[in-house]
Amino acid sequence: MAASPGPAGVGGAGAVYGSGPLGFALDSGLEIKTRSVEQTLLPLVSQITTLINHKDNTKKSDKTLQAIQRVGQAVNLAVGRFVKVGEAIANENWDLKEEINIACIEAKQAGETIAALTDITNLNHLESDGQITIFTDKTGVIKAARLLLSSVTKVLLLADRVVIKQIITSRNKVLATMERLEKVNSFQEFVQIFSQFGNEMVEFAHLSGDRQNDLKDEKKKAKMAAARAVLEKCTMMLLTASKTCLRHPNCESAHKNKEGVFDRMKVALDKVIEIVTDCKPNGETDISSVSIFTGIKEFKMNIEALRENLYFQSKENLSVTLEVILERTEDFTDSAYTSHEHRERILELSTQARMELQQLISVWIQAQSKKTKSIAEELELSILKISHSLNELKKELHSTATQLAADLLKYHADHVVLKALKLTGVEGNLEALAEYACKLSEQKEQLVETCRLLRHISGTEPMEITCIHAEETFQVTGQQIISAAETLTLHPSSKIAKENLDVFCEAWESQISDMSTLLREISDFNVLLFKIILIFLLSQKNNANLKSLKPDKPDSEEQAKIAKLGLKLGLLTSDADCEIEKWEDQENEIVQYGRNMSSMAYSLYLFTRGEGPLKTSQDLIHQLEVFAAEGLKLTSSVQAFSKQLKDDDKLMLLLEINKLIPLCHQLQTVTKTSLQNKVFLKVDKCITKTRSMMALLVQLLSLCYKLLKKLQMENNGWVSVTNKDSMDGKI
């Protein structure tokens, strides 16, 4: 396969066609990347709307009109490139040609309309003050923009159908060749067919990899990564297993080993198609049970909804939901590998949760008939108590699963059983083979059970899917290692049988390594979530009356969002620092403000990890106020610098500034807005705005640096914007 596997794996990239405002990446010459449109064409249309509505008046200065015209022309050029790609797709897909061509014609007409309506050469009437009245029929531009977005969307959807068809066709070719490989009887024929199979798998790898990159749903992306990882590893297994069968055609264990590989590859191929087409064969549904952490999250949402609506759901449903969750904890308590202390604590917390639910239901019934303050407070207390018990249960399950996994991985780190199987194979010792095969089976069951426990406490759907993938891999690979070892033991002098066993053992060792990485990711993620909960609880304790407080504790999905935002913010600070280091004049105001913003953003990143100087949400809000003010100072310095540039460069820079200024004001507004006890919501909004501002800061620093270098080459020097005396004469 062409791309690295695993949950974070990505596929190969397609060829890139076009350049400038709207370049399109085509997967195997066909697929239009949606992100190309989102990052280029849509912002241009948005800029037209912004420029038209600037100050909400009908009179525009000459500079504004020129800016509008440039954006209108850029949109038209971008649409032209888009239409060319769409027409190329239509010519290669006759079944969709008419639909694609109609959508392309609509897009072209919309682009030309926008260009015409923003063309100042068509406007001849001047007002007495030297300004031009423009867009008396402003709705024309709005209609054209809507038509453009509609037609572009149609082309993208049709192109998507083309790609899906292409992936299905590629899968069918692979399956057809696999059928021929299963029936092959000679080495020469096998080599020829396997060569064809290899080429087809490379094509399928590129197509499925590109599709994986474009998936927005993290759950689907993880499923695709898991399926592609299976195909990658099984390709080498298929080679050695097939060669072993050809060398030892009468060996039952060799045929069993080979059949296992073919079966797993077919399942993985079907899984890719299931994800791509978003439908299961024969109307099947996903039968995988909900994890304990996900179940607790949903249960807590239901009981917290009682604060707003006492008739939202039935009491029976709550009881059943809790029982389902506690029933799943039997995976932990029934495990032979769970310690006595952990088992007792889990059972104790389960009993406590049942009792507190009964208390909650009792108060709930009273609250439905009595609308008193004391009953409302008692209901709130009952909700908080059961939420606390469930949080304690989550911590105990997390501790149990991670400790068990860590001990198991440490114990099997030296792969003693695999080494013993290889040795017994080359010695032809059938008695020893039976002994070590039994030990590997026991190890396999331990690993499978541990993966099941890790899935319960993983915290996110992508990590859940990775746990399921690991569980399936250990289950299947364990049996295949035993059949491969049996083949070698029966034919101890066979080099191909030895090579085959080595391949399966390497796959096992690789999965052990992947499981270690997964355990570390789960542990880091959950530790971070517990820190976030603690931060918000401390913040609320310091800033509110506990008696009347209704905590806005973030659920696991919200916590994951904060963690992800924080990580992206941290990466952006690194990008900003890299841009700052390029500047020779480190005292330049633009550099100074950029450095200050990057430093403050890094403190925000540390806050999301429960680290750094910011301890409460109030500290965070104060830091954000300073950050927004620093952003406005930066825009003032960049505006001063822009006055030294030529019109084209100046316009390019001002368009970027005009994106940053509103974000600064929006951040200031959010920090001053009272959301009562919705602390998490406020922090989430603030960090989202901060991340957007940092992304623009990185772009601004890069653009200013390039324009500065260009100006220096033209003028053999640059008047520093930090020299206020010299600038006063220019302003």
Question: Which of 403, 430, 452 is the C-terminal boundary of a domain?
Answer: 403
Does 137 or 562 have the greater pLDDT score?
A: 562
What band does 244 get if pLDDT is binned at 50, 70 and 90?
A: very high
Q: Which residues of 401-437 are buried (b: 16+ CB within 10 A; e: fewer)?
A: bbebbeebbeebeeeebbebbbebbeeeeeebbeebb
- Same domain membership, residue 432 and residue 302: no
Give the domain CATH number at 577: 1.20.120.230
Which pLDDT score is estimated for 662?
85
Phi, psi of 505 (to 5 degrees): -65, -40
Strand 24-26 versus strand 132-133 pairing type:
unpaired
How many residues are present in the chain?
A: 731
**3-class secondary-structure state, position 59:** strand
For 329-344, what is each residue's pLDDT tens digit? 999 999 998 999 999 9
What band does 46 get if pLDDT is binned at 50, 70 and 90?
A: low
**Would you say residue 88 lies in a domain?**
yes
- Same domain membership, residue 265 and residue 298: no
- Same domain membership, residue 582 and residue 701: yes
What is the value of pTM for the model shown? 0.66
pLDDT average, residue stretch 580-608: 86
Residues 418 and 508 sit within 8 Å (Cβ to Cβ): yes
Query: How far, CA to CA in Å, does 473 sit from each of 40, 264, 336, 467, 479?
Result: 42, 10, 22, 10, 10
- Same domain membership, residue 517 and residue 613: no
Q: Which residues of 496-529 are buried (b: 16+ CB within 10 A; e: fewer)?
A: bbbebbebbbebbeebbebbeebbebbbebbebb
Task: Express the helix, strand and coil content of the chain in percent, nearest 5 each.
Answer: 80, 0, 20
Secondary element (H or E) of residue 545: none
Spatial CA neighbour of 134 closest among 153, 116, 155, 148? 116
Which pLDDT score is estimated for 530?
55
- Same domain membership, residue 563 and residue 712: yes
> 65-79, 365-379, 468-482, 717-731: which has the highest mean pLDDT?
468-482
Average pLDDT along the chain: 80
> 38-52, 272-286, 308-322, 489-503: which has the highest mean pLDDT?
489-503
Q: Which residue has the tokens 């399109």?
A: 24
What band does 29 get if pLDDT is binned at 50, 70 and 90?
A: very low
Which pLDDT score is estimated for 43?
56
Which pLDDT score is estimated for 719?
42
Q: Which residue range forms the structural domain that includes residue 181?
A: 166-277
What band does 548 get if pLDDT is binned at 50, 70 and 90?
A: very low
Which pLDDT score is estimated for 527?
60
CB proximity list for 157: less than 8 A, separation 6 or greater: none
**Would you say residue 728 lies in a domain?**
no
For 151-170, what is each residue's pLDDT tens digit? 888 888 888 888 899 999 99
Q: What is the DSSP string of 481-495?
A: HHHHHHHHHHSTT-H
- Of all residues in the chain, the percent with pLDDT exceeding 90 is 35
> Based on the structure, what is the number of domains in the chain?
5
Which pLDDT score is estimated for 670?
80
- Same domain membership, residue 211 and residue 307: no
Beta bridge partners of 16: 25
Residues 559 and 532 sit within 8 Å (Cβ to Cβ): yes
pLDDT exceeds cutoff 80 at 186: yes
pLDDT average, residue stretch 177-201: 92
Residue type, 194: F
Give the domain CATH number at 375: 1.20.120.330
Phi, psi of 133 (to 5 degrees): -85, 120
